[in-house]
Amino acid sequence: MRAQIVRVGAAIAAVSIALILARTEAFASGKESCSTTTTDVTSGPSADGAEATCDAAVDGPNGAKAKASGADADATSEAEDGSDATSTTSGKDSDASAEAFGGSDAQATAKGEDSDAHAEAEGPGGSMAVSSVKGKDSDTTAEASGGSDAEATVKGDESDATAEADSGSMAVSSVKGKDSDATAEAANGSTAQATASGNDSEAEAIAENSDSNVTALATKGSTAIGSDTSPPTCTPRHGGKAVVTSPMGNCK
């Protein structure tokens, strides 16, 4: 009988410890979120430092939404003048910030430790900026103004993507791989697209003149640089591709 009592007591103790550990883990991995249309709101910080901030008090109604999860994760959304801003982040020390002004839309999503996503869109004319990163130590930045569209995307570790568009233009940058970079800049009604894949690849597309179209593609550690003001550069490596199309010439 005594042995049975001991076994029952041990089982109860084990269950109690499991419940305590589960409760502690849930408490430690806090999640914070906020949503507002006409006020400024902050949720957190949680026990592990996660914090969500939503600002929408200026010239509303606006739409500001933010979600943060992970130790010291930070999500910030700011919307003014009838705009919408959404930021979502998950992962230790990750950050997502979305800023929208003048009837624009901004979306920033960061997933992964030390990842950083920033999206900024502003008028006049209403712009769209989308910044999305999934990977460790990676960064994305999308900035659009004057009725433009900018999109920056990263899937991979230690990579960067930047897209900047102004004055009715479109800029798209995309990275899929490790230690790679893609930069797209467009202005004056032009279009720029930069795509980098594989490890250690670099793609850059710069379009400054009206109605210009510049694309750059780099794979497997290659380099592709194109613009509408200087000749292109294509340096293929490791059996990869380096391709540029631009008003100043093409190369591959």
Residue spans of beta strands (DSSP E) within 82-169: 84-90, 95-100, 105-111, 116-122, 128-134, 139-145, 149-155, 160-165
Does a structural domain hold residue 175?
Answer: yes
Does a structural domain hold residue 48?
Answer: no
Does a structural domain hold residue 78?
Answer: no
pLDDT in tens, 26-52: 344 579 999 999 999 999 999 999 999
Q: Number of folded domains in the chain? A: 1
Entry pTM? 0.87
Does a structural domain hold residue 22?
Answer: no
What is the structure's pLDDT at 55? Answer: 96
Does a structural domain hold residue 160?
Answer: yes
Does a structural domain hold residue 103?
Answer: no
pLDDT in tens, 82-117: 999 999 999 999 999 999 999 999 999 999 999 999
Burial of residue 144, with CB atoms counted within 10 A of its CB: 0-12 exposed, 13-18 middle, 19 or more buried: buried
Which structural domain, as residue segments, surrounds residue 235? 148-252
Does a structural domain hold residue 18?
Answer: no
What is the structure's pLDDT at 30? Answer: 75
Alpha-carbon distances of 208 from 123, 162, 166, rounded to whole Å: 19, 16, 10
Does a structural domain hold residue 25?
Answer: no
